[in-house]
């Protein structure tokens, strides 16, 4: 019995507690239902702002990366071990400062080798130049000598021809003279013979003495001897003329052969002058060898100079890729240096906005790393060609960075004023909503009802939007409400000062206005 009592008592207590809790929840639900009904019947509480006249500066906002205008990788030009490298990330370097030294032993050996090759090439050229003038003089002398020999042989030949003709003429004249003597002697002999014959007849008749006949006979003998003597002389003259002709022809042939020999010798001497261009070409080749050796020396000396690497600009070391003792190969970066006295920020811009941006326009820049500061730069470049994928134009903003506060690689927000509208009717941005019918605002009329008003938007600033038509200055527009309002719905103004914007939040239609650009009211 006691055991049963012990079981029933806790059950009764638990049941009582459950019944009490259910009674409390039923009472609370009834109170909430009553309150909900009262709220549904009461006007919705909203925040409002008064449309006012103000200036609107329309700006374009975008985000870009901070870049260094000069970003250089200092790389080795020759292969070798790094002997000197002290700069580290964050160190400042000056233009011309030595930052890396590479062991020059191997390059020094190449320099000495090229210098030796140059000395040898110069020696060969000098040796060829020394023998050039004597060779040229010798060839010219031989040519002149052979020209003189040819002239002499030609003169001898001409003289032989003249002498031959004179000797032949003289011999021919002697023969002709002796021929006349023969004819005269023959005539004398014929006269003497005729006289002898006539005297012989007279002697037979006894008309003359024997002495006269003997004298006539002696005269015939004498004329006969004279004729034979003249004939002998003529024959000797004819033989001499033949000798003169034979000897003259032989002498002329010999003189002609001598002249031909002199001509051949002259041509041979002149042929030697053809060696001069070849010799000159040889000298040019030797000069080219000297020039090539000089180029080799300059190249080796340049390689030696390349073992010392200097900073090409004033800036900061942002990367160090190697350490002393490592072997650097040609083209391998060792340090990265960036110039940050100025920085670039490149932002994408839509086509319609790019037409209103030009070089020289000011730009406001804000950084997440420096949230309390706003920097002012200017547009320095507008790319005239759009990206074929994004259809956006790139705009570059240059920002002075004398204190090196702005670091390359961080994000930056850029605002560029593209237009300025004066004396426009403006409302807070959250007061404007859009649906399929277009842009509209909810205006609170004098009866306390929210009335939809279709509007035409104008310039848009950072906090406000200009209303081109559909709204008058002084009218109150809803900036925030708990739920979407209906046209003609009664509302209760929570209290906001005229001309001031309400607390940022959802618009009258309950949708955030996500836009690619924004501006600032002035």
Convert 28-68 into a string of H (helix), E (strand) and C (coil).
Answer: HHHHHHHHHHHHHHCCEEEEEEECEEEEEEEEEEEEEEEEC
* 349 vs 343: CA distance, rounded Å: 19
Q: Closest Cα partner for 357 from 65, 61, 63, 64?
A: 61
- Cβ atoms of 54 and 464 within 8 Å: the answer is yes
Matching CATH number, 108-279, of 1.10.3210.10, 1.10.287.620, 3.40.50.10470, 3.10.20.740: 1.10.287.620
Matching CATH number, 48-67+341-521, of 2.30.180.10, 2.40.30.170, 3.40.1030.10, 3.90.1200.10: 2.40.30.170
pTM: 0.46
- Cβ atoms of 505 and 494 within 8 Å: the answer is no
* List of long-range contacts for 129-137, beta carbons under 8 Å, 24+ apart: 129/283, 132/279, 132/283, 135/275, 135/279, 136/276
For residue 513, the model assigns a pLDDT of: 29
Instruction: Mention every residue, 6+ apart, whose C-beta is less than 8 A from residue 363.
Output: 376, 377, 378, 379, 397, 414, 415, 416
For residue 353, the model assigns a pLDDT of: 86
Q: At what angle do helices 105-205 and 275-305 cross, to 10 degrees?
A: 170
* CA distances in angstroms from 361 to 172, 194, 398, listed in the order given: 123, 155, 11
* 207 vs 464: CA distance, rounded Å: 191
Question: 521 pairs with which residues across the strands?
Answer: 56
DSSP-derived 3-state class of residue 415: strand
* 116 vs 426: CA distance, rounded Å: 86
Give the H or E element holding residue 175: helix 105-205
> What is the full DSSP assignment across 330-370?
TT-EEEEEEE-SEEEEEEEE-HHHHTT--TT-EEEEEESSS
For residue 249, the model assigns a pLDDT of: 79
Half-sphere exposure of 511 (CA within 13 A, CB side): 11
447: left (phi over 0), alpha (psi -120 to 50) or beta: alpha
Q: For residue 436, what is the DSSP state?
A: T
Instruction: Mention every residue, 6+ apart, whose C-beta is less than 8 A from residue 356.
Output: 418, 419
For residue 498, the model assigns a pLDDT of: 34
Instruction: Kindly report the number of other CB atoms within 10 A of residue 208's CB atom.
Output: 17
* CA distances in angstroms from 167 to 159, 325, 348, listed in the order given: 12, 107, 117
* CA distances in angstroms from 41 to 35, 38, 419, 483, 489, listed in the order given: 10, 5, 47, 15, 11
Residue pointed to by tokens 């509480």? 45
CATH number belonging to domain 72-103+313-337: 2.40.50.100
Half-sphere exposure of 454 (CA within 13 A, CB side): 4
CA dihedral 261, 266, 269, 273 (to 10 degrees): -150
Lateral strand order in the sheet of 92-93 = 70-75, 333-339, 315-320, 92-93
* 197 vs 200: CA distance, rounded Å: 5
- Cβ atoms of 471 and 430 within 8 Å: the answer is no
Residue 60 phi/psi, 5° resolution? -115, 125
Strands (E), 244-332: 308-310, 315-320, 327-328
Q: Per-residue pLDDT for the chain (522 aa), expressed as one digit of tens each?
A: 566 666 667 777 777 778 777 888 877 777 777 666 555 556 888 899 999 998 887 788 889 999 888 889 999 888 889 999 988 888 889 888 999 998 888 888 888 888 888 888 888 878 777 765 566 656 667 777 777 877 888 887 788 777 777 777 887 888 788 788 888 888 888 888 888 888 888 878 877 888 877 888 888 888 888 888 888 888 887 888 788 778 777 878 887 888 788 788 777 766 666 556 666 777 788 788 888 888 888 888 887 888 889 898 888 898 899 999 998 888 889 999 988 888 999 999 998 888 888 899 999 999 988 888 899 999 999 999 988 888 899 999 999 988 888 888 888 999 988 878 888 899 998 999 999 889 999 999 988 899 999 999 888 777 888 999 999 999 999 998 888 888 888 988 885 433 333 333 333 333 222 232 233 343
Per-domain boundaries in the chain: 48-67+341-521, 72-103+313-337, 108-279
Tokens matching residue 160? 């032989």
Instruction: Mention every residue, 6+ apart, whose C-beta is less than 8 A from residue 31.
Output: none
């Amino acid at each position: 019995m006691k055991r049963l009592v012990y079981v029933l008592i806790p059950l009764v207590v638990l049941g009582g507690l459950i019944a009490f809790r259910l009674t409390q929840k039923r009472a609370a639900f009834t109170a909430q239902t009553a309150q909900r009904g009262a709220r549904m019947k009461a006007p919705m509480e909203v925040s409002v702002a008064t449309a006012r006249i103000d200036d609107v500066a329309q700006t374009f906002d975008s985000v870009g990366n901070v870049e260094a205008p000069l970003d250089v990788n200092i790389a080795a030009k020759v292969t070798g071990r790094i002997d000197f490298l002290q700069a580290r990330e964050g160190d400042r370097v000056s233009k011309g400062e030595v930052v890396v030294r590479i062991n020059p032993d191997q390059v020094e050996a190449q320099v000495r080798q090229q210098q030796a090759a140059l000395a040898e090439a110069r020696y060969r050229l000098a040796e060829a130049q020394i023998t050039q003038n004597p060779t040229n003089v010798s060839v010219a002398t031989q040519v002149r000598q052979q020209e003189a020999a040819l002239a002499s042989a030609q003169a001898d030949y001409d003289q032989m021809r003249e002498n031959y003709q004179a000797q032949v003429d003289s011999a021919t004249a002697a023969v002709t003279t002796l021929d006349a003597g023969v004819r005269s002697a023959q005539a004398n002999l014929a006269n003497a013979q005729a006289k002898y014959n006539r005297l012989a007849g007279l002697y037979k008749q006894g008309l003359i003495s024997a002495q006269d006949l003997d004298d006539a006979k002696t005269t015939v003998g004498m004329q006969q001897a004279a004729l034979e003597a003249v004939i002998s002389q003529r024959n000797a003259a004819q033989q001499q003329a033949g000798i003169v002709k034979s000897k003259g022809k032989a002498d002329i042939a010999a003189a002609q052969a001598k002249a031909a020999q002199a001509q051949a010798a002259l041509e041979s001497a002149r042929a030697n002058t053809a060696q001069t261009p070849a010799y000159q070409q040889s000298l040019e080749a030797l000069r080219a060898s000297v020039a090539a050796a000089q180029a080799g020396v300059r190249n080796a000396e340049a390689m030696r100079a390349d073992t010392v690497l200097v900073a090409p600009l004033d800036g900061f070391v942002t990367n160090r890729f190697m350490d002393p003792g490592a072997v650097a190969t040609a083209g391998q970066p060792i340090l990265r240096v960036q110039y940050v006295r100025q920085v670039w920020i490149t932002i994408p811009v839509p086509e319609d906005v790019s037409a209103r941006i030009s070089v020289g326009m000011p730009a406001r820049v804000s950084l997440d790393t420096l949230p309390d500061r706003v920097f002012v730069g200017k547009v320095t470049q507008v790319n005239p060609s759009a990206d074929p994928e994004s259809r956006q134009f790139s705009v570059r903003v240059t920002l002075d960075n004398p204190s090196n506060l702005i670091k390359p690689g961080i994000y930056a927000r850029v605002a560029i004023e593209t237009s300025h509208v004066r004396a426009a009717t403006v409302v807070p941005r959250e007061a404007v909503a859009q649906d399929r019918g277009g842009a509209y605002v909810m205006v609170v009329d004098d009866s306390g009802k929210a009335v939809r008003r279709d509007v035409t938007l104008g310039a848009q600033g950072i906090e406000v939007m200009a209303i081109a038509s559909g709204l008058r200055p002084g009218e109150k527009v809803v900036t925030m409400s708990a739920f979407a309002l209906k046209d003609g719905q009664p509302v209760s103004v929570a209290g906001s000062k005229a001309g001031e914007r309400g607390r940022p939040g959802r618009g009258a239609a309950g949708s955030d206005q996500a836009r690619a650009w924004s501006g600032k009211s002035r």
